[in-house]
Structure 1
């Protein structure tokens, strides 16, 4: 059986091909699944997708009509998939429930340190042989307060690093993580966490209840000199509201690896085109903002785990087995 993998990055393709070797043929393409590209999946019983693929009703209808019966998503997030429509069409949907939490947690800290210590500005200057320190002053994080919204596996890994920095730890989640409590974390209401934290990092899934978790009111609750980091899902932050606060000169730094309207932009080269997203265009002009292209998970360790789990999901499907990774079971 040949499997078609959409949205495969250049570094990812050989990992995908090696993982499927001896199991199934795999054809990995760099195009993303959209209503326009869905027809190329015709004749493929199984396809694999990335988090920025469109798996809305129109695409799922096209996949089902073309003979697709199983979608193996190469991510933990699945907010791009209409699960109700998939179930109605009899499509099996599986995801990767778990991969290295350290990849994302370490990258979140990379963003935090980069905006705190003005690394991008410093690097740009030294390339021009400008070695002044004006405007590059950061802050010690030791002794300051880290607020972690979401203390699952990734939030816990982020917390362990914060503990290593000697920071006061505040947490917010629907349930308390004993490992975080052992590190000295105090769980508090979201409003208190936002008001007292010097560094705020988001590690919650994107659900209807968490859409714009950081909205205009939440942003106004934060300290003027706070650092905000989002390496989870773009929709957790109301970006228009964030831009409005940045225009007022607020926040020491904002590090974003995700953006709520990133589909059609991230993972693509748009450097020779006019990008018509005015909000993103304004966002990247602020000197205290660093935007990266959803790369927090992108380590050989994490991607290796993602691909290995994707292979397992496909083998489970062909063998008629069901695992915890299945979101919509085989009908």
Structure 2
């Protein structure tokens, strides 16, 4: 079988990496710049497989239309799958994902945000461009001896904890499925969410977005936190209720926030909107804070991670075409 594969929401770097790998495997590939939506779903009409990214929204209507076109497989080139109605796809179209591609890439970006915010690197950079070498307002604190709260101890969370222990930080962790053996080995402690909120100087979100974790960080959670807490989110945007985060920043309860994701990011992230007016008032407000760094969902974006994503995505398709077990299938 030589499957016809349509990639949606692709950028030049996607085509550069995927095209030679796919052709080497004998796949017939086509790259579409646009997100997959109800309006342009006709572009998938002759495809056996559609490959999508985080901002392609596959609701029940899109799933049913893809099924009517004869699409047999949806391949996510990412770990998260909250943008796909898995229930609607059941018994119609198989769904596969890339569960792990480079945990260290995301963990390292998390720490980069943490360090930049703490030591005001972003502010110092712009000051020195204007020959302003004043230190006023740039004071940070030692991470050594502080308490980090890590929510989610999958591969990314564990990689992050190893780095934080290198700073000699105390680490509290929360996960419904704790790895107590690793905790003993690395020297961190599992606790409940309330305790983590109350005792952490820095909190990092490294968990998936589910019904239970939506708006995990809201006003009630922030009220429990230490005065001057730093919050880092490299997980999913809707883990944080952004309006409540803004109130926490305004009140000074939250001293800094590093966000690689945003709850309404699908209209903005991965796009160049520099010649347009930003229409999202909440995002625009976030960008006015000098103690907030927003990056464009780039924590995963390293050479190593991208190659791992590409290889896993195409091997998922290869396994499907060869009738093999789909070890990365998403099931309800």
- Which TM class, normalised by the smaller chain length? over 0.9
User: CA shift at 1:328, angstroms?
Assistant: 5.0
**SS of residue matched to 1:254:** strand
Task: State the distance in 1 between where 2:156 and 2:140 align.
Answer: 26
Unaligned 5+ residue runs, structure 2?
A: none
1:286 equivalent to 2:305? Answer: no
Give the corresponding residue for 1:306: 309
User: CA shift at 1:175, angstroms?
Assistant: 2.1
Task: State the distance in 1 between where 2:141 and 2:61 align.
Answer: 49
Give the corresponding residue for 1:159: 161
Unaligned 5+ residue runs, structure 1?
A: none
- Deviating more after overlay: 75-84 vs 49-58: 49-58
Given the two structures, how large is their TM-score scaled by the length of structure 2? 0.95
Task: State the distance in 1 between where 2:244 and 2:36 align.
Answer: 30
Question: Conserved in 1, the CA contact under 8 Å of 2:228 and 2:252?
Answer: no
1:188 equivalent to 2:191? Answer: yes
Give the corresponding residue for 2:326: 323
**SS of residue matched to 1:161:** helix
Q: How does 1:161-240 map to 2 (within 5 A)?
A: 161-177=163-179, 178-240=181-243
Q: How large is the Cα RMSD of the aligned pairs?
A: 1.4
User: CA shift at 1:68, angstroms?
Assistant: 1.7
The one of 114, 131, 140 equivalent to 2:142 is 140
Cα distance 1:25–1:97, how it changes in 2: closer, same or farther (>3 A)? same
Task: State the distance in 1 between where 2:328 and 2:177 align.
Answer: 22
Give CA deviations for 1:219-269 in whole Å, capped at 9, x if unaligned: 111112111100010111111111111121232210000011111111111
Task: State the distance in 2 between where 1:180 and 1:154 align.
Answer: 15
Q: How does 1:15-34 map to 2 (within 5 A)?
A: 15-23=17-25, 24-34=27-37
Question: Conserved in 2, the CA contact under 8 Å of 1:72 and 1:95?
Answer: yes
Give the corresponding residue for 1:6: 8
Give the corresponding residue for 1:67: 70
Give CA deviations for 1:5-47 in whole Å, capped at 9, x if unaligned: 1122322321111221222022223321122221111111111
Number of aligned residues: 328
Task: State the distance in 1 between where 2:251 and 2:61 align.
Answer: 41
Task: State the distance in 2 between where 1:286 and 1:324 align.
Answer: 43
Given the two structures, how large is their TM-score scaled by the length of structure 1? 0.95
Cα distance 1:163–1:109, how it changes in 2: closer, same or farther (>3 A)? same
The one of 87, 91, 110 equivalent to 2:112 is 110
